[in-house]
Structure formats: C-alpha cells, structure tokens
C-alpha cells in the first residue's frame, strides 16, 4: 500500500487484555474492520508475549487486515516487523530504537510511526523527516497505560500545541498525526476539535478499549468513524499554515447595520417565542442564582439552576444553552460542570463560561483550566481582571470577584487573541463591552454604572447571552451545518455573534432605561426596575438605542 494513501482516521491499537470475557481476539478484530465505517489502520500491541507468539498472532492478524485492505503495523518489535512482508510497518515509542536506526533497518518502504508527548519531541521528529506519522498523546488519562500521572496528560489544549508543532515548517513536510490516550465515543469530538488550530489539525484518533473492550466492536468502530468523519467533513480544504481559518464566525459582520439588523431579527423571533422559551441550564453561584433565574424569565427564557452531574444527560436533551459560572464553585459543581459541558458539546448546544474571580486563587485557575479542557466553550466572558488572568497578563489584577484597579492597554487585542487561542467567542465586560470571534471586534457602549454597583450583574449577563445564543440556534434550526465551528454548535456560525449581541444589548439597554426611571434612587431600587425593563424591552427599542461599532 502506498504510504501516501494511508487514511489515519480510525487507528486501532490492539489490546487483548481488554477484551470482554469470552470474546475472541480475531473475531473482535474482524468485526472492527467489517462494514462501511470501520477501522482504517491497525497497530498490533503485545506487551506480554515472546517474539515467536507475537509473530504467530501478527500473521493471523495480517491475513484479516489484508482481507479488508487495511494497513498493519507492529508495536515496538523490529524483528516481528522484519519477519513479515514489507507492507507491515513499525510503531516505536520515544524510548525504543532511535528513529534513524529504525528506518535504516526497516528500509525506506515500510510505514514507520513514532509517539510524541510534547512540543519538543514533535519538533524533533518533524525536523528529522524520517517518520511517516506521529501518535500524539496521552490526550487523557487511560486504562491501558497505567501509571500515567495527571501531569503527563496533555488535555485537548495541550494536544493542540503538539499537533501545531507537526505542521510543515522550515521546508519540512507536515507530518500526519493521530491522537491517542483516552479517546472514546465521549471524548473524541471534543479532543479532535480542541487539538485543531489555525496551524494544523489531527488526521485521526487511535483507540484501544473504546473498540477492543466492546462486545459489538463493529458498532463501536462505526460510532467512532462517524465522529471522525463529521470532524473531517468540516475542515476547510486549504490547510496550508496560516490559511486555516477555523472560527470565522463573523466575517460577514463588518457592516455594523447588517449586524444590528440580524440581532434584531433574532431577538424578534425570540420574543415571539416561535420555538418556545429556551431552557437555560445555569450552574452559578449561590450569590447570583435568584437574580440570574429572574433575569432569564424576564428575558423570555426558562431557567434551571442545577449542579447535579447525575441529571446532566437528561437535561441536555431539553436545554437551549448552558452557563458555567464558577462564582462559588465547589466539588459538586465541578463534577456537574464536567458532565453538563460534555453533554452540551455532544448535543451542539452553546456553552457560556463565566470564570468569576479566576485570578484570585489557584483553585479557581485550576477549575477554569479543567472546564476549558473538558468542554469546548462557545463564549468566554469576563471582566478585565478575569480575562487578563486567563491570557496570562498582569496588567489588571483582582483580589476577589470584582474587577481590580487598572485598565487594559489593548482590550481589542486581548479579546481577539484570546478568541483565536481558545477558538471561541470572547466578551470582555466593563464600561464598554468588547465581543470578538478572533477576527472582528464589536464594541458595545450601552450600559449604566449602576450595573457595576450590584452584585451578580455580570453573572446575569451570562444568562442573557446564553439565551441570545440559544435564540440564534433556534432561528438557524433545520438549516444545514456549515463551518468548523459548528462541530460544537449546530447553528449557522455567523449567527453566534448577533446571538451573543442580543443578550448584551438587552441587558445594557435595560440598565439605561431602568436607571432613567423616577422611582430608581440607587442600587436597591435599580434591581427590580432592571427586571421590569428587561421584561418589556422590544426589538425596536434595541435597534434604536444600540451603540455598537465593529472593527476588523
């Protein structure tokens, strides 16, 4: 088989020790290779048998792979590979035979793959130009590699850096790669998407227990194959470095009036409740919970404030969008966010992350890191201290949940670069709100300083934004999936910006209307007035009072 023709989409690593009781290894292998959507590459991994037995297993396995036209490689045992025909390849680890030595002994024809665990190893393998592909991992903790410490696990965002280092550079050709470590039907979509950047993308996933551990290996293979297929179908055809525009949600919104018109349309459909009020599942602080629930109701949405991981899957069927707010996060909410975020991603529902007070403690930073690894966030919102902390800047610091003193030198640059890095929309809240998709920045100058004088206004803003995103998804419902960003949110990606804007404008304009009322004397009387104004604001008022501008 010509090397150029290798399809790395679904790479099976065998693990006989993981077979369910009574399942025959060869039957399982045959099943995983049968049918339309199936395993595309097989690597034989035998850690506990002698070379003679390994060779016997390999010969029988090769006959099955040959029957299905699927290439086979041997893990780490050069003599077994050499004893088999040249169409059989070899996969080595970092501590096995050196790459150059392996190639010299194997000859130029055989497929040769190597595991890489960090950016330095990836760069070195690319520079050597000897391997045919790299296995990148461990992406998650796994059963099959006992002893992997948490610190060795890359996570989707760490994986992205390693994959990016395999893009063509210094005259070296891009090296194909497969992700490995903890990939299964639940983690594959998030990991593939998370490992993709403007520089590069993975070519497939390597799995062991997600296929080998199942009695229905054929069904398992076809589930995984369709996840990889859906991911690949959304990749742009041009993957040359710097050209891969992955989150171009809002390219068409450089025209401010067109953007406002679309936001107003989405808001009108939302108010008419054409699709029923969207259910906004909100995991938030006990400080902001009641205000946020009331804000959702006033804004034609239906709130549910549940932290329970046990009901995440059930609720995900009904939710329109979710808000993950770490305001008073504890262990239960941490587990809940993991389950809710993953379920929302699988269902293509928008996820808003509010990293309240993230700069204030190591515990909060770790919680946010964990959420962003587990879940592909649709919109990340924060005040200047929170976003500075996530971006690793020290310009604005905070001792608690409120913005600290100091202001950002380049707020537009911050939201743009964070959006590109995290592949999501980013909103910086404050006197002026900045919303970016990584390309354009929308400045919103509406709002009133009384919003900054009540607790939980930022948290409640997360809820109106989630409702706006859910409304955008409802408007787009039934339309075909377009663009890579829709891998996580099944809506027209370009509608995510006006959808988020609906939530921002509703809250900030309602605050202006409330503050102008005769009965509002200060923060205390402002809160009920804000709820009333949010309940009555119309698309026409939104369109006439919006103070927005767009910069590219």
Ligand X SMILES: Nc1ncnc2c1ncn2[C@@H]1O[C@H](COP(=O)(O)OP(=O)(O)OP(=O)(O)O)[C@@H](O)[C@H]1O
Active site residues: 459
The partner in contact with residue 449, picked from ligand X, ligand Cc1ncsc1CCO, none with C-beta cut-offs of 5 to 8 angstroms by kind, is ligand X
- Return the number of the residue (194 or 327) whose C-beta is nearest ligand Cc1ncsc1CCO: 327
Rg of the chain taking only CA atoms, in angstroms: 26
Applying CB under 6 A, the site for ligand X has a residue count of: 22
Q: Which of 455, 481, 517, 523 binds ligand Cc1ncsc1CCO (CB under 6 A)?
A: 455
- Return the number of the residue (136 or 451) whose C-beta is nearest ligand X: 451
Q: Which of residues 264-303 bind ligand Cc1ncsc1CCO (CB under 6 A)?
A: 285, 287-288
- Structure token digits, residue 214: 């199942």
Q: How many CB atoms neighbour CB 245 within 10 A?
A: 15
Give the nearest distance from C-beta 516 to ligand X in angstroms: 13
The partner in contact with residue 507, picked from ligand X, ligand Cc1ncsc1CCO, none with C-beta cut-offs of 5 to 8 angstroms by kind, is ligand X
Residue 384 DSSP symbol:
H
The partner in contact with residue 328, picked from ligand Cc1ncsc1CCO, ligand X, none with C-beta cut-offs of 5 to 8 angstroms by kind, is ligand Cc1ncsc1CCO
Give the distance from CA 516 to its chain's centroid: 41
H/E element holding 217?
A: helix 217-233
Going by C-alpha positions, the residue among 177, 328, 249, 308 that lies closest to residue 501 is 249
- Return the number of the residue (226 or 455) whose C-beta is nearest ligand Cc1ncsc1CCO: 455
- Return the number of the residue (51 or 290) whose C-beta is nearest ligand Cc1ncsc1CCO: 290
- Structure token digits, residue 83: 């004893």
Give the nearest distance from C-beta 451 to ligand X in angstroms: 3
Q: Which residues contact 535 (CB under 8 A, 6 or more apart)?
A: 298, 299
- Structure token digits, residue 351: 């996820």
Q: Does residue 356 touch ligand Cc1ncsc1CCO according to CB under 6 A?
A: yes
- Return the number of the residue (70 or 460) whose C-beta is nearest ligand Cc1ncsc1CCO: 460
The 316-355 contact track toward ligand Cc1ncsc1CCO, x by CB under 6 A, reads -----------xx---------------------------
Place of tokens 């169409």: 87
Q: CA 79, CA 54: separation in Å to the nearest integer?
A: 10
SS3 content of the chain, % helix, strand, coil (to 5): 50, 15, 40
- Return the number of the residue (356 or 414) whose C-beta is nearest ligand Cc1ncsc1CCO: 356
Q: CA 52, CA 145: separation in Å to the nearest integer?
A: 24
CA distances from 393 to 96, 193, 411, 507 (A): 40, 26, 12, 28
The partner in contact with residue 138, picked from ligand Cc1ncsc1CCO, ligand X, none with C-beta cut-offs of 5 to 8 angstroms by kind, is none
H/E element holding 236?
A: none
Q: Does residue 427 touch ligand Cc1ncsc1CCO according to CB under 6 A?
A: no
Q: CA 452, CA 432: separation in Å to the nearest integer?
A: 12
Q: Which of 202, 430, 438, 483 binds ligand X (CB under 6 A)?
A: 430
Q: Does residue 459 touch ligand X according to CB under 6 A?
A: yes
- Structure token digits, residue 11: 């790479």
Question: Can you tell me whether residue 513 is helix, strand or coil?
Answer: helix
**The one segment of 77-85, 95-103, 182-190, 396-404 that binds ligand X by CB under 6 A:** 396-404
Q: Does residue 456 touch ligand Cc1ncsc1CCO according to CB under 6 A?
A: yes
The partner in contact with residue 168, picked from ligand Cc1ncsc1CCO, ligand X, none with C-beta cut-offs of 5 to 8 angstroms by kind, is none
- Return the number of the residue (410 or 479) whose C-beta is nearest ligand X: 410
- Pairing relation of β-strands 302-304 and 425-428? unpaired
Give the nearest distance from C-beta 400 to ligand Cc1ncsc1CCO in angstroms: 7
The partner in contact with residue 429, picked from ligand Cc1ncsc1CCO, ligand X, none with C-beta cut-offs of 5 to 8 angstroms by kind, is ligand X
Give the distance from CA 265 to its chain's centroid: 28
Applying CB under 6 A, the site for ligand Cc1ncsc1CCO has a residue count of: 11
Q: Which of 22, 170, 449, 478 binds ligand X (CB under 6 A)?
A: 449
Euclidean distance between the first and final Cα of the chain, in Å?
Answer: 47
CA distances from 36 to 14, 219, 256, 338, 493 (A): 20, 11, 47, 33, 30
Q: Which residues contact 328 (CB under 8 A, 6 or more apart)?
A: 285, 286, 287
- Structure token digits, residue 431: 């006197």
Q: CA 383, CA 381: separation in Å to the nearest integer?
A: 7
Give the nearest distance from C-beta 334 to ligand Cc1ncsc1CCO in angstroms: 15
Q: CA 379, CA 350: separation in Å to the nearest integer?
A: 8
The 380-419 contact track toward ligand Cc1ncsc1CCO, x by CB under 6 A, reads ---------------------x------------------
Positions that interact with ligand X (CB under 6 A): 356, 383, 401-403, 429-431, 433, 447-449, 451-452, 455-459, 461, 507-508
Positions that interact with ligand Cc1ncsc1CCO (CB under 6 A): 285, 287-288, 327-328, 356, 401, 455-456, 458-459
């Amino acid at each position: 088989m010509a090397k150029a023709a290798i399809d790395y989409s679904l790479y099976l690593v065998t693990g006989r020790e993981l077979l369910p009781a009574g399942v025959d290894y060869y039957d399982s292998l045959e099943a995983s290779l049968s049918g339309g959507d199936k395993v595309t590459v097989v690597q034989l991994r035998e850690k506990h048998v002698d070379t003679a037995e390994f060779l016997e297993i390999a010969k029988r396995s090769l006959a099955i792979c040959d029957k299905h036209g699927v290439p086979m490689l041997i893990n780490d045992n050069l003599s077994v590979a050499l004893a088999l025909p040249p169409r059989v390849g070899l996969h080595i680890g970092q501590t096995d035979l050196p790459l150059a030595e392996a190639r010299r002994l194997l000859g130029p024809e055989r497929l040769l793959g190597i595991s890489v665990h960090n950016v330095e190893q990836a760069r070195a393998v690319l520079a050597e130009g000897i391997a045919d592909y790299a296995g990148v991992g461990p992406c998650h903790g796994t059963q099959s590699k006992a002893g992997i410490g948490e610190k060795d696990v890359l996570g989707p965002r760490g994986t992205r850096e390693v994959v990016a280092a395999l893009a063509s550079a210094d005259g070296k050709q891009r090296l194909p790669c497969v992700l490995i470590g903890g990939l299964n039907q639940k983690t594959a979509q998030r990991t593939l998407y998370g490992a993709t950047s403007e520089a590069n993308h993975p070519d497939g996933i390597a799995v062991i227990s997600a296929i080998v551990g199942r009695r229905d290996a054929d069904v398992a293979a076809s589930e995984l194959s369709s996840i990889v297929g859906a991911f690949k179908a959304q990749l742009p055809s041009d993957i040359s470095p710097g050209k891969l525009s992955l989150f171009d949600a809002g390219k068409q919104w450089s025209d401010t009036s067109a953007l406002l018109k679309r936001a107003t349309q989405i808001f009108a459909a939302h108010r008419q409740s054409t699709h029923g009020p969207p259910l906004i599942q909100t995991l938030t602080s006990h400080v902001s919970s009641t205000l946020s629930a009331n804000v959702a109701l006033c804004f034609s949405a239906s709130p549910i404030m549940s932290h329970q991981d046990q009901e995440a899957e059930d609720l995900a069927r009904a939710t329109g969008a979710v808000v993950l707010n770490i305001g008073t996060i504890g262990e239960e909410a941490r587990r809940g966010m993991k389950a809710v975020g993953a379920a929302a991603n699988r269902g293509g529902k928008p996820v808003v992350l509010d990293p309240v007070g993230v700069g204030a403690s190591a515990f909060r930073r770790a919680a946010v890191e964990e959420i962003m690894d587990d879940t592909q966030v649709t919109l990340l919102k924060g005040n200047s201290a929170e976003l500075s902390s996530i971006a690793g800047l020290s310009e604005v610091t905070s001792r608690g949940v409120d913005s600290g003193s100091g202001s950002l030198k380049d707020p537009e640059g911050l939201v743009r670069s964070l959006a590109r890095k995290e592949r999501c929309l980013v909103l910086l809240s404050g006197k002026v709100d900045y919303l970016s998709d990584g390309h354009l920045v929308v400045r919103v100058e509406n709002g009133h300083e009384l919003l900054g004088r009540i607790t939980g206004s930022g948290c409640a803003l997360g809820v109106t934004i989630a409702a706006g995103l859910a409304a955008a998804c409802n408007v787009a419902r039934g339309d075909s999936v377009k663009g890579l960003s829709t891998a996580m949110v099944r809506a027209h990606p370009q509608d995510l910006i006006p959808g988020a804007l609906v939530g921002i404008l509703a809250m900030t304009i309602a605050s202006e209307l409330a503050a102008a009322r005769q009965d509002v004397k200060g923060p205390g009387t402002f809160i009920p007035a804000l709820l009333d104004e949010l309940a009555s604001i119309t698309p026409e008022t939104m369109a006439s009072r919006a103070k927005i501008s767009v910069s590219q």
